[in-house]
Amino acid sequence: EVQLVESGGGLVQPGRSLRLSCTTSGFTFGDFAMSWVRQAPGKGLEWVGFIRSKTYGGTTEYAASVKGRFTISRDDSKSIAYLQMNSLKTEDTAVYYCNRGPATTWYSYYWGQGTLVTVSS
Amino acid sequence: QSALTQPASVSGSPGQSITISCTGTSSDIGGYNYVSWYQQHPGKAPKLMIYDVSNRPSGVSNRFSGSKSGNTASLTISGLQAEDEADYYCSSYTSSSTLGVFGGGTKLTVL
């Protein structure tokens, strides 16, 4: 059974950093891209970014709103994806979901349950 | 403002059919058959309902169907049930970005 479990969320002050983890099981982690999507309270879904598999260079793509502040990485030996968030802003407050993908035709079937990040002084 | 435009809300009675539209441009919906739809219940993660415009993942009811015409994709739910009440998001690949785009979401109310 495929499972994705996010952790690391919490309350953090503006300007500080936080690292989220997405611990996975049930599939060959290294074969897949991994993404992060966020949802601000009462708002819609927003792509944060994703990291390709090593087969495709392990390169990353980011939304303009987080580029330069957020970094996605992966540890294929542990089957974990990370989202390092620096210089956090109040507008980064959201539930952060990791998901397996996107697939080549840009959809994601497996999602984690999400972890809440609150940026507030 | 979202790149894809969805109605904020739709409603229907049990047993009826409803359609949710998702309008984009020739850079996304109109140019590629890479449209997907997600269902999200309050406090839950999104669930993939349709991918590649009209394909249903295993386990998704055949009451859910997807289609596309020009720059507009549609999700149709037939035989509405109370459990269908949720938010629905469309998503598409776009040539204008290195990331996909989501619609703003549609709240479905089952009367």
DSSP string, A24-74: EESS-GGGS-EEEEEE-TT--EEEEEEE--GGGTT-EEE-TTTTTTEEEEE
- Whether the CB of A9 is below 8 Å from some CB of chain B: the reply is no
Question: Do residue B93 and residue A103 have CB atoms under 8 angstroms apart?
Answer: no
- The confidence score (pLDDT) of residue B90 equals 98
- Whether the CB of A76 is below 8 Å from some CB of chain B: the reply is no
Q: Are B5 and B103 in contact (CB under 8 A)?
A: yes
- Whether the CB of A42 is below 8 Å from some CB of chain B: the reply is no
Question: Do residue A45 and residue B48 have CB atoms under 8 angstroms apart?
Answer: no
- Position B59, amino acid: G
Catalogue the E-assigned strands of B33-71: 35-40, 47-50, 64-69
Question: Do residue A45 and residue B36 have CB atoms under 8 angstroms apart?
Answer: no
pLDDT (tens place) for every residue of chain A, 121 residues total: 999 999 999 999 999 999 999 999 999 999 999 999 999 999 999 999 999 999 999 999 999 999 999 999 999 999 999 999 999 999 999 999 999 988 888 899 999 999 999 999 9
- The confidence score (pLDDT) of residue B1 equals 56
Q: Who's near A66: CB < 8 A, 6+ residues apart?
A: A48, A49, A85, A92
Question: Chain B contacts of A103, Cβ < 8 Å?
Answer: 51
- Whether the CB of B107 is below 8 Å from some CB of chain A: the reply is no
Chain A residue with minimal CA distance to B49? A109
Question: Chain B contacts of A45, Cβ < 8 Å?
Answer: 38, 40, 46, 89, 91, 102, 105
Query: CA separation (Å) from A47 to A105, A114, B22, B60, B98?
Result: 15, 14, 17, 24, 10
- The confidence score (pLDDT) of residue B2 equals 62
pLDDT under 50 in chain B at which residues? none
Question: Chain A contacts of B100, Cβ < 8 Å?
Answer: 47, 102, 106
Query: CA separation (Å) from A69 to A88, A102, A120, A121, B105?
Result: 8, 22, 17, 19, 27
